[in-house]
Amino acid sequence: GQQLNQSPQSMFIQEGEDVSMNCTSSSIFNTWLWYKQDPGEGPVLLIALYKAGELTSNGRLTAQFGITRKDSFLNISASIPSDVGIYFCAGRSGGYQKVTFGTGTKLQVIP
């Protein structure tokens, strides 16, 4: 099946710092999705990207759909303690039953 490489696997940052994480694929995707998962909860959609080159923001979060359609990144600006969680990227190549999920980036924010 398709592989998504998500990095970094985990990161510790100081409150107020900016964060960047990315996903790369060996295959082309039509849609890139970014989810956040808090402990004991399911993934929640943060940003959806539908066109190559698209740059979309959601508050302090910004994500981009790579020009090659094989990568995407997520930036979080001015991190706060509630940003703690696991961030997943996901790529869609057909219907939403064909979404491939990354392995997650675990973010810890030090107050």
Partner 1 sequence: DADVTQTPRNRITKTGKRIMLECSQTKGHDRMYWYRQDPGLGLRLIYYSFDVKDINKGEISDGYSVSRQAQAKFSLSLESAIPNQTALYFCATSEPNQPQHFGDGTRLSIL
Residues that bind partner 1 (CB under 8 A): 1, 4, 33, 35, 40-45, 48, 88, 90, 95-97, 99-104
H or E element, residue 27: none
Instruction: Report the C-alpha gap between 14 and 79 in whole angstroms.
Output: 8
- Beta carbon of residue 84, minimum distance to partner 1 (angstroms, whole number): 17
For the chain, the helix, strand and coil percentages under 3-state DSSP, each to the nearest 5: 5, 55, 40
Smallest distance from partner 1 to CB 64, Å: 17
Q: How far is the CB of 103 from partner 1 (least distance, A)?
A: 5
Q: Which CB sits closer to partner 1, 14 or 97?
A: 97
Q: How many CB atoms lie within 10 A of CB 39?
A: 7
* Cα dihedral across residues 7, 106, 18, 66: positive or negative: positive
Nearer Cβ to partner 1 (45/55): 45
Would you say 42 or 111 has its CB closer to partner 1? 42
